[in-house]
Chains A and B, each alone.
Chain A
Amino acid sequence: MRAPTNGPDVAAGDVLLAVENVSLSFGGVRAVSDVSFDIRKGEIRAIIGPNGAGKTSMLNVINGFYHPQEGRITFKGQTRPKMRPYEAADGGIARTFQNVALFRGMTALDNIMAGRSLKMNKSFFWQLLRYGPAMQEEVEHRARVEEIIDFLKIQEIRRIPVGRLPYGLQKRVELGRALAMEPELLLLDEPMAGMNLEEKEDMSRFILDVNDHYGTTIALIEHDMGVVMDLSDRVVVLDHGEKIADGTPDEIKSNQAVIDAYLGVAH
């Protein structure tokens, strides 16, 4: 399908999101220092690095959960000093979490429906009654949700509370909820963590399909190097909060700084 070895022209597209000289610290701990990179429209962008490199912090900065002390972020040409998570969601950024963060007592269907809540316009009063325009709106949203359920092949778990589902399926439901927001930029925080080989292959297939079918731009954090190299168009590598490399998977594979960061250097 997508050949990561085709070079930079595959990823040619306008810059969707630009991170410029961002620094973030918690007290004395510098989680991210002076990092810049961009995400182009339509690409799959991986953020990798050893444990504690600042990857998740970076995602949290992108979707407005953390506010960087320095630097700026430009999303769709707009630079905002402080973006709150709901503004990010409204602006078209959706994400999944490293530890699954679903409503465990709700069914898979309801969880994905929850992802549509920002798109629902009818007043609370109408929705409470589930009548007239609110009903019609719900039907329309349900149709979109059913498309996602079909897309992710989770029809059989539609009515099952997600707390009872195996981990791999929960991850898939979480992806479904993020997709329900019809995001322009999808942030995936370790989508394959804790999965077996077959589940990983399924998830890789879904990520590629999302990118291909919906044209969604994807930024993902992942530890499985095989997955990263196969899926992504471009990779940025962080280590101790600093960017040490940025390029195509092939460039990254042969980059000495990256090899040192992962394998360690003799001192």
Chain B
Amino acid sequence: MATNAAAQADTFPKLLIRNAELFGSRPAMRHKDLGIWQTWTWREQLEIVRAYAVGLHRLGLKRGETIAIVGANRPKLYWSVMAAQMIGAIPVPVYADAVAEELAFVLSHAEVRFAAVEDQEQVDKIMSVMERLPKLEQMVYDERRGLRDYDHSHLRAIDEVIADGRKALADDPAVGKWLDTEIAVGQGSDPSIILYTSGTTGQSKGVVLTGERSIAAAADTVAFDHLNENDVSLAYLPLAWVGDHYLNYAQGLVAGFCIACPENTDTAMADLREIGPTFYFAPPRTLELLLTRVMIRMEDAGFLKRKMFHFFIGVARKYGERILNKQPVPFTGRLLYAIGDVLVYGPLKNVLGFSRVRTAYTAGEAIGPDLFAFYRSIGLNLKQLYGQTEAFLYLTAQPDGQIHSDTVGPPCPHVDLRIAENGEVQFKSPGMFTGYFHDEAKTQEALTSDGYVKTGDAGFFDEKTGHLKIIDRAKDVGKLTDGTLFPPKYIENKLKFFPNIREAVAYGDGRDYVAVMLNIDLTAVGSWAERNKVVYASYQELAGHSQVYDMIEKHVAEVNRDLAKDKVMAGAQIKRFLILHKELDADDGELTRTQKVRRGFIAERYAPLITALYDGSTEADIATEVTFEDGRKGVIKARVKIRDMKTKPAAGAMEQAA
């Protein structure tokens, strides 16, 4: 029902009005504030957004102008997006944890005149780069605290803007009429939002999306996953990421479901439990982190609980996925699984906040098969999707019952997908972007001559299932000097399945053998150190500890055993490894804001370590500059040890002596 009506509305403000009529008294937005969940219905939300839109207009925001949105997932920032769209302005969400430099780039490139921000921190950040933003005139903020003494000539609380708009609407009926016309004038082909890409490949680009296309894409997936107004999702993903804008904002408006905003970023886990969402998305990294925490806590649990947990997880591994896929399972298997569900899986899902989840997705990077299987085996309907900002997210998604850990599913409805001759995936989709903001050259670069968009990912269609398989970024898959295939992600993911390993960066393209740099997981290894009476004063000391090296060496050996089983991969076994003295960090540019490893950059930054990995030395000195959250810089120096690994000669594969 929802989707049919959605076809008639071609902009988000029109959808908002439709939802207020259809689902008027149902919840549209929740936010935990002062420890209590506050709820706004669709009708209330419409009233607020109308008042806010009028308020913004009275401040001077006009059709076609851009407004930056900077902050965490909060109702007032979502309303800023809606209010801006209502009067035809274009919201430009920016990552809340972006450093001032990145913020300045996006704000000046998008030519924003207005900015809606969360709190003092963001106001300060923008003020620190003010001289580079001559066009910026007004800032509105959600959280007043600490801002009282600021010069308020160009600064206003969002509450005041809404109150001002509300008063104008009440005083003069013509204002309401004017707003109605503004909404009606809005075209589906107008830009509805500009999303800046996280910049996995260099400087970020502003992806322009239109209302009509966004709604068409969201309507397809809402139907695909049977989402409706009774669903709930927790909005904890970065506001500026296409995932949040699609999964929560666009799908929420199309299906009419409720978005719940966590109290703050650190409470998201607890809030997840309280809200019990029915639709859930988590990048593989988050799922990994959750599993690590569960595993650690089980290690610390009593004997009986630990045994029970491991026994039933074993049962789940054997039967769980088959039960979820509705495949035949022997009666004893079903019985054991049912007992396990009562004793382990149910409580576990409850703790993780997954009890009510009907549909869960993961995407963003390749997920380890073991990790994926774990969640599915305990009964979470976790599926994979593949997409990108330029497509307004979805390109492929796995339908219920057709789940494979190594595929990302068949193309979504109305998505035209093809594989180019060089193996690159190219597409035309309902939600595809209209171009990069103020960057015609880059737009042309991204498009083929016949109008398909290049994804930059290498993949192929699996013959058996017809699903798309993504191998890696087209340019990342390499070869060792002896011609052995070297897919870095594949090796890294195998390593990262160990709770003790937080991050892995593999090198080998054009080299004689594979070598990796690792980050230990401070939570997991710290807890291990506590149990084993290993004393340490800092991350750096723990990372360099010889007992930690011994433990990690066992993990690497296990990965090598695993690789040796596969003929193709046997040559890509890890010969040498080291543990980095500092955590890879987005603030230092080592990870992207979506926490993907920037392999090339890391290779440059840690060049002395790479050299040492391949020249046989057993340790190397390194000095790296680090950026603190407030923008100051410091230098960390360390001597990093390197370990050699024995490799297993596998079926037919000859190994050089390590």
Binding site for B on A (CB under 8 A): 1, 142-143, 146-147, 149-151, 153, 155-156, 158-159, 198, 201, 205, 209, 212-213
Contacts and interface: CB of A to CB of B under 8 A. Distances in A.
Interface string B622-640: 0000001110000000000
Contacts of B33: 150
B38 interface: no
A212 B150 CA distance: 12
Contacts of A213: 145, 148
Interface stretch (B82-90, B153-161, B202-210, B263-271): B263-271
A169 to B, nearest CB: 11
B145 A156 contact: no
B148 A156 contact: no
At the interface, is chain B mostly helix, strand, loop or mixed? loop
A119 to B, nearest CB: 18
B264 A153 contact: yes
Nearest to A157: B266
Contacts of B145: 151, 209, 213
A147 B34 contact: yes
B45 to A, nearest CB: 23
Nearest to B267: A156
Contacts of B264: 153, 155-156
A214 B34 CA distance: 17
Interface residues of B, number: 16
B35 interface: yes
Contacts of A205: 146
Interface in B613-658: 628-630
Nearest to B268: A156
B604 interface: no
Interface in B26-49: 33-36
Interface in B252-280: 263-264, 266-267, 270
Contacts of B146: 1, 205, 209, 212
Closest CB pairs A-B (n = 6): A156-B266, A146-B34, A146-B35, A156-B267, A155-B263, A155-B267
Contacts of B149: 1, 212
Contacts of A143: 34
A146 B630 CA distance: 28
Interface in B118-147: 145-146
Contacts of B630: 201
Nearest to A151: B145
Nearest to A2: B149
Nearest to B264: A155
Contact of B35 (A1, A153, A155, A209): A155
B457 to A, nearest CB: 36
A20 B36 CA distance: 48
A74 B259 CA distance: 55
Contacts of A159: 270
18 contacts: A1-B149, A142-B35, A146-B34, A146-B35, A146-B36, A147-B34, A149-B34, A149-B35, A153-B264, A155-B263, A155-B266, A156-B264, A156-B266, A156-B270, A159-B270, A198-B628, A201-B630, A212-B146
A158 B146 CA distance: 23
Nearest to A109: B35
A26 to B, nearest CB: 37
A156 B266 CA distance: 6
B148 A150 contact: no
